Amino acid sequence: MDAQIEVELNDNSKGWNGMELTVIGYWGAFPAKNEATSGYLLRHKECAVLLDCGSGVLSRLQNEIELEQLDAVFITHTHADHFADAYALEFAALVLTQIGKRTQPLDVYVYDTAPESLHFAYPDYVRVHAIDTGQTVTVGEVMFTFQETIHEVPCCAIKATSPEGQSIVYSGDTGFCPGFVEFASNADLLVLESSFYEVQKGMMSGHLTAGEAGKVARLAGVGHLILTHLPHYGEHQQLKLEAGHNYKGPIELAHSGLKWSLQL
Ligand SMILES: [Zn+2]
Ligand SMILES: [Zn+2]
């Protein structure tokens, strides 16, 4: 069933033009030294949204914005490399509210079969919502939609669409999935997991090799590809080469602070 939810913006002075995505963390499994696992900051005009909140994200996020500026958080699944800092973020919301920097609870959307059993403890400061793939959530002027992916646990991909028609799709974790290709169709930017090298193809399920990531980008006809959720071994440039065999558009390897923006 289609449904619409509108998130009220926290009252802070902000103002970013166009839609911009910043990589906060991009490592799979655990963060490299002084780095973070999955976390992406999406900004548009008055709106600041965090996509995933893995290990190390909360600290590194403060290189980009003040935590009180966050309006909402979307979490693709509850594996620690996407979720570990969410409870620390709850304490941040609590303290920032108590010292007068936040004026309303932080909305946290989680894709999980039982979000009520998660260990958030302070509903006055963090409002936890289940992500429903039939639902649209609007934060500021940006519309968020969702699509289940193929992974070890329930996981969803996220699409952000601006009123100007720009779209950014973030895969979360996924294996090769025709439904996801359709969901990502014609996105201006696809932030896509690329957990493995081609030599590992078929050895792991619920994740993509770089070649598969390139294939997804080509089939979806996206404008730009960022490879992320990168492994702790091998040469990452090899991932870019392998994706490039299947996708001829622009490809970048995620790194901390990488920004992609479409100005108006
Ligand atoms: Zn996962
Ligand atoms: Zn992961």
CA–centroid distance, residue 79 to ligand 2 (Å): 6
CA–centroid distance, residue 163 to ligand 1 (Å): 31
CA–centroid distance, residue 171 to ligand 1 (Å): 11
Residue 260: half-sphere exposure toward Cβ, Cα within 13 Å: 25
| pLDDT string in tens for the chain (264-residue length) | 456 788 877 765 566 678 999 999 999 999 999 999 999 999 999 899 999 999 999 999 999 999 999 999 999 999 999 999 999 999 999 999 999 999 999 999 999 988 888 999 999 999 999 999 999 999 999 999 999 999 999 999 999 999 999 999 999 999 999 999 999 999 999 999 999 999 999 888 999 999 999 999 999 999 999 999 999 999 999 999 999 999 999 999 999 999 999 765
Predicted TM-score (pTM) of the model is 0.95
Closest ligand relative to 111 C-alpha: 1
Identify the CA nearest to 141 among candidates 2, 26, 6, 3.
6
Alpha-carbon span 193 to 254, nearest angstrom: 10
Identify the CA nearest to 192 among candidates 224, 153, 235, 151.
224
3-state secondary structure at position 84: coil
Give the end-to-end CA distance of the chain in Å, rounded to a whole number.
Answer: 33
3-state secondary structure at position 45: strand
What letters, b where the CB count within 10 A reaches 16 and e where it falls short, cover 86-114?
A: bbebbebbbebbeeebbeebbbbbbbbee
CA–centroid distance, residue 104 to ligand 2 (Å): 30
Closest ligand relative to 193 C-alpha: 2
